[in-house]
Each structure stands twice: as C-alpha cells, then as structure tokens.
Structure 1
Amino acid sequence: MTVRAAFVYRTDIHSPHCWAETLEEGRLRLAATLGDAVETSAHENVGEDAEGQRLIAGLAEDGADLVFLGSKGYQPFVLEIADSYPGTRFDICQGMRLAPNVSSFREAVEEVAYVSGMLAGGMTRTGLVGVPIATGHEVVYLNAFALGIRAVNPEARIHTRTVGSWMAPEREMAAVHELADLGCDVIGGALTENDPVVLTAAERGCHTTVRNSDRRHLAPDHVLVGNLVDWTPHLVRSVRAVADGTWEPGWRYYHAGDGVVFNTEAAAFVPEHVARPAAEAAELIRRGALDLWRGPIRNNRGEEVVPEGLGLADMLTGVEPLPGLTPLETFLPTDAFDWLLDTYLGEPFVRPPRTDMRIKTG
C-alpha cells in the first residue's frame, strides 16, 4: 500500500517565519526514508479560514490517507471535516482536541528553551536579556528559557515587548530595537524563529538564541545556538501505522530523548565555561535526568508557585492526565499555566484567554 500523505502549511515553506520549514524538512526525510511506500504533497499559504477549510476538505475528498497540519489554528474546522471524511486521518501540530480520526503531536519546547536560556544567561554582560513576546501564549518556552538563565546567572533579568502576532516583521524589529535601547544584549524567546528578529538583533550588536532552526548563517557572529525540530520519527511512525492498519488517534509529546527536539552545538565563539554547562544540561535532559521545573520558583506576581524541594509536577495532584501523557505534559500547554517567572520585569503577567482552544478529548 502506498500511503498518500498531505502536508498543510500556514505560510511559505521558506518564509522568514521558519515554523513551516521544520515540517517540510520532515516531509522530505519521510519520502527519502519510505520511498514508494508513501506519496507526499505540500500545500503552502493555507489560511485558517473558509478558503483553507475548503482546501483541506478537498485533500480528503481526493483520497488523502493522512493530512499533517502545521498549525493548531486549523483545529476548529478540521473536526468538522474529519467527521465528514472518516477514512482520512488528520494530525495537527500542537492540536488541542482529538476525534476518532484526529490526532495531535507536539515537541517539548521547554527542553531546548532551557539550554538556550543557559547560554543567554552566560553570555549577557549587562545582565539584561530581551524577549519579544508573540501573543502571550508561548508561556512554556518563556518560562523554561528564564529557568535556564536563572540556573547560570540568578541576578539576570528579562525585559519583554509584546508584538501581538507571530508574523509581524515591522513590530518584531521595533520590539528588538526597544529591548536593545533598554540595555538588553541578548535576545531570546519564541519569536527568534523569525528572521527579522535575528537580523535586527545582530544589527544592534546583540546575541540571539534561535528557535526552531539553525540560523547561524544569517548572523554567524551573533547567533549563540539554534533549537531544532526533526519530525521524521513521528511522520514515519504515523505513515507506517496507516499502512499496516494500526493508526489510532492520540496525544504525542516528543522529548529530546525521542530524537525530535535538540539544540545545535553552541557557536564557536561561546567560551567553554559557558558552553560546557549548557551541553551537560542538554545531555541530562536527553536522558530524562534533569527536572527543569524544580523549585523554588516564584512568579512575577510575587507568588511562590513551586516550593523548594519540590517540582512543578508535584503541584499537579489535581490534574487528570490525558491518555498517554503525564500530568505535567497535560498541564503545560493549557491556559492553566498562566504565570511567568519573577525573572521577568514589568507588570504582572496575565495570559490572554483562549477558551476555544483548551485541551479536550471529545
């Protein structure tokens, strides 16, 4: 059986916003790995709107066995499409709901963010790191990044500027300029997956940690490290499951130990006393031997959220884990994770509501 697998992207595959590029690289590796056992197609610039809904429904109508969707923004109408096409399986990156033929996959961003934070904390000379925030929903990445900074530089602090979008180049560049004006000499956070952030930081003489790609070629003297995602293990496993009739919907949460998320080596200009602890932490994370969320942790509202001697997982006794996930894996992507570490300066953080995207199983 040749499995027909379609890939749907919100942006250009090779746009300055490199999220789609990670899944496209996985598609190419999938085809190279399985050869004639899979037939793939890529669909770029598919909106999270009625036109996008028609295109995705058309893929199912044309006989796609499996549709990988690169944005959780497709979630609301994919559930409706899936009900009409039970023979097509839909797999949503960072999806928030399941159905009999709808699955979800995500990466443990916290693990690579922590290592990036260690390098940011080790390289700042002003003690100030700048983070342009996309929408306020990237709380997991932001907190893990701050924990990494705190691990090597407890006195360092983080300034933020909210952009209000994942794709707003002018506002991204303006945010970086404002952060540099405040004295931030390292720029990090989730929006560093976008080229304008990396290039503007380099223009201002700031180092950057880059999410979801290796952008050292853009600013080789400024990029400290890249966070990489290789979806190939998940894609191959999913296609093989469709082929042999064992595919089932589920929550997939991939860690560094699964070979899906990892950091590049630190840039050659990073001193050994900064690079070595980060590399050692990355290895501990890969082996599952480092609890990133160990207390004491206080949020920037002045509240203790994890006492000393405990981990965040210990505070989740009331969380009912989703099938196949731990309570911590269940909790992290939800709106209940609504605080930032006290490493963040400024007004107490309030996470924007997103009630339509809460994790549900039905």
Structure 2
Amino acid sequence: MRKGLVLLVLALLMAVGTTQAAEKKMKVGFVYVSPVGDAGWSYAHDVARQAIEALPDVEVKYLEAVNEGADSERVFLNMARKKYDLIFGTSFGYMDPMLKVSKRFPKTVFMHCSGYKTSENMGNYFGRMYQARYLSGMVAGSMTKSNVLGYVAAFPIPEVIRGINAFTLGVQAVNPEAEVRVVWTKTWYDPAKEKEGAKSLLDVGADVIAQHQDSPGPQEAAQERGVYSIGYNTDMSSFAPKSHLVAPIWNWTPFYMEVLKSVKDGSWKSASTWNGLAEGVVDLSPMSDLVPADVQARVLARRDEIKKGGYVVFSGPVKDQAGTVRIAEGAVPADGALLGMDWFVQGVVGTTK
C-alpha cells in the first residue's frame, strides 16, 4: 500500500513537472511580408526561425505574406493577445502597426526589422547590407562590357536608395565609366513585375542585372537574355546558374539567437541595432566560377578591409547625381545620415521617386 502511494506521488510530481516545463516554453512569433518560398528576404529570416524552432524550450509560429498596414496590426495584436513573449516583424511597413500594438502589451517584446522607431518594449534592428552591396558592385563593374548595369528596385526609401548607392560606388571603384540604371517596381514581392522590370533594363543595354527584390525573377530574365546577374537576400545561383555572379546575403540566425537569449534571461532592453560584415549578419554568397580569380581576390581583400574597419564604404568624397559634393573628402557620414539617405550618387541614372 505504502509502495503504491509512493509511486502515485512520484507520478503526480512527474506530471506536474512536465506541465510546468510545457508552460515554461517561450512563445516566439515571426511575421513575413512575402511567401517564405526557397529564396529571398522572407526565406532568409525563416532559416533563422527554423534554428530557433529546433530548441526544446521554444514554441514558434510564423505567418507569411502579411500585408503592411492594417493587416499586420491585426496579426501583431492576435499574437500579443495569445501571450507571445517575443514577436519579430520583418518588413519596413510593419513599423507603425507594431509600435501601436507594443504600447498595449508591455509584457511582450517586439522586434522590428529595418525601421527606426522604438518603445520601451519594442526595439529595431537591421544590417549594414550596403557593405555587401558595395562588394557585389565591384563584381558587377568588373564583368560588364556595355558599361550599363540595371538595378530592379522595390520602393524609393532610404534602405533601398542606400543599397543602390553602395552598389554604384562599388561599380565605380573598379570601372569609373559604368553607370547604374534604376527601375522601380513599387513592390517587395511580385515575380512577374520584377522580371518585367529587369527586361526593361535589358532593353536599354544593361548586361548585368542587380536587384532589391524578393524573388529570383530578375535573375531569370538575365539568364534568358544571356547576360549576368547579381542576386539578393540569399544565394540565388540555382535559379540562374548560367548568369548569377554573386549575391549580398543575410545571416540572421546568430542575431536572433542572441535576442532570444536576452529575453529569456531578462537582460533585453529596447535598442536600435545595425550590424554588418564584422558581426556576420551580412555577407557575400560564394562567387560563381564565371567571375575571374583576380576579380574574386580583389573583392575578398576589400571585404576583409571593411570587416576590420580599414575601409568605409561611404567615405568621402562622394558626389550626388548633379555633381555636388555630399560627403566631403576624408569625411565619414554618421549612421543617421545613412539611415535617412534620399539622394543618388553620381553614376546612377534614375530618380528617387
């Protein structure tokens, strides 16, 4: 009888322990602006989500193709009501909706990607993708024969403008005669529209296509015309193996793990984080065999310089399209100036509208 009672107590204790362990699981949510797919912006974030999901003490949920604005606000609100501990919103247009919801749910930690607003329980984060953009521009400038490069771009916001400028500076570092022509699609993810944008640039003589878009549509357009391409977000070489030279890519896993740990141990504080090559958040994909060995060596040497702080992408002098010096010789722009960049450098053909 006594033995049976002991066994019963032990069973109850185990059950309670199991229940408590389940209750202690941290709830983490991810919200994406486009389908996850197998390449691109949302896919890069989802690789990190999968790493978090593999942890034993975390419960993870994600929603894809969530529109910016009111739709995203409803999603954030629903997650907060379900007592999610940590919510990542991974698109610029999620900023104001997330900020609004964060103020209603002070016990939830909100993290917004690519914006600039914060609250006591909402931080923001991004990466210095312009560093990798510059390097990809060096590749593109080395490979063009027509000296016309095309850039399929999403929206004329500082993030995208800054990337185009960095790419152009990289192009001109190796080929001062080249120009970068820009076409705006006004969408983050629309494979057909992105591909048509690339075709319009190919029609005016571009022989290398770069992009700030989520799909490999521009890569495919370049391959169909027999010219080169520069991917984005993830390695897109499988979609255009005869065209793809390299891609500036994201690696969110270390940063997301760091945020998760800080929320768990109570050390998290609202902040604005902008990491780059040195921290491993941005990088280049492996370069294609289409890129000559001497070009690869030059690009990788410059990558090492940037990582070590020996070279700053936007160090002056830098002129705008009109030839006016915007960054003086020897000057290095503050992060605020880069984050608000709304003008094109000399060598870009297009408007910031």
Say yes or no: TM over 0.5.
yes
Aligned equivalent of 2:26: 3
Q: Which has the larger radius of gyration?
A: 2
Deviations 1:187-229 (A, max 9, x none): 11323x4211110111111211111010101111110002221
Aligned equivalent of 2:263: 242
Structure 1 stretches of 5 or more lacking a match?
Answer: 314-327, 353-362
**1:291 touches 1:311 (CA, 8 Å); kept in 2?**
no
AA aligned to 1:330 is G
The 1:342/1:262 distance shift into structure 2, 3 A limit, reads: same
Q: Residue 218 of structure 1 is aligned with which of 233, 239, 251?
A: 239
Q: Residue 201 of structure 1 is aligned with which of 222, 229, 232?
A: 222
Cα distance, 1:85 vs structure 2: 0.9
1:340 is paired with a residue whose SS is coil
AA aligned to 1:296 is P
Q: Within 1, Cα distance between the matches of 2:242 and 2:94? A: 38
Q: Within 2, Cα distance between the matches of 1:169 and 1:14? A: 12
Q: Residue 105 of structure 2 is aligned with which of 85, 99, 118?
A: 85
**2:134 touches 2:168 (CA, 8 Å); kept in 1?**
yes
Aligned equivalent of 2:279: 258
Q: Within 2, Cα distance between the matches of 1:260 and 1:345? A: 30
2:151 is paired with a residue whose SS is strand
Q: Within 2, Cα distance between the matches of 1:30 and 1:103? A: 19
AA aligned to 1:141 is G
Residues 1:114 and 2:162 aligned together: no
**2:72 touches 2:97 (CA, 8 Å); kept in 1?**
no
Map 1:101-250 to 2 at 5 A.
101-137=121-157, 138-191=160-213, 193-250=214-271
Using the aligned pairs only, state the percent identity.
Answer: 27
Cα distance, 1:15 vs structure 2: 6.7
**2:316 touches 2:328 (CA, 8 Å); kept in 1?**
yes
Q: Residue 345 of structure 1 is aligned with which of 334, 344, 349?
A: 349
Q: Within 1, Cα distance between the matches of 2:29 and 2:218? A: 31
Aligned equivalent of 1:317: none
Q: Within 1, Cα distance between the matches of 2:70 and 2:201? A: 38
AA aligned to 2:344 is L
**2:153 touches 2:184 (CA, 8 Å); kept in 1?**
yes
Deviations 1:68-115 (A, max 9, x none): 111121211222211111111110111221001111010101111001
Higher mean Cα deviation, 235-244 or 48-57?
48-57
Residues 1:55 and 2:75 aligned together: yes
Cα distance, 1:235 vs structure 2: 1.0
Deviations 1:238-260 (A, max 9, x none): 11111111111100101111111
Residues 1:13 and 2:17 aligned together: no
Deviations 1:149-170 (A, max 9, x none): 0111111112222222223333
Deviations 1:124-174 (A, max 9, x none): 011111112322221110010001001111111122222222233333222
AA aligned to 2:348 is Y
Residues 1:329 and 2:335 aligned together: yes
Q: Within 1, Cα distance between the matches of 2:280 and 2:155? A: 28
**2:190 touches 2:215 (CA, 8 Å); kept in 1?**
no
**2:195 touches 2:221 (CA, 8 Å); kept in 1?**
yes
Q: Within 2, Cα distance between the matches of 1:178 and 1:53? A: 36
AA aligned to 2:142 is G
Q: Within 2, Cα distance between the matches of 1:338 and 1:47? A: 24
The 1:182/1:42 distance shift into structure 2, 3 A limit, reads: same
**1:72 touches 1:96 (CA, 8 Å); kept in 2?**
no
**1:97 touches 1:104 (CA, 8 Å); kept in 2?**
yes
Cα distance, 1:25 vs structure 2: 0.4
AA aligned to 2:331 is G
Aligned equivalent of 1:359: none
The TM-score, its normalising length taken from structure 2, stands at 0.88
AA aligned to 1:232 is T
2:221 is paired with a residue whose SS is helix
AA aligned to 1:197 is P
AA aligned to 2:91 is S
**2:89 touches 2:98 (CA, 8 Å); kept in 1?**
no
Aligned residues: 328
The TM-score, its normalising length taken from structure 1, stands at 0.86
**1:91 touches 1:104 (CA, 8 Å); kept in 2?**
yes
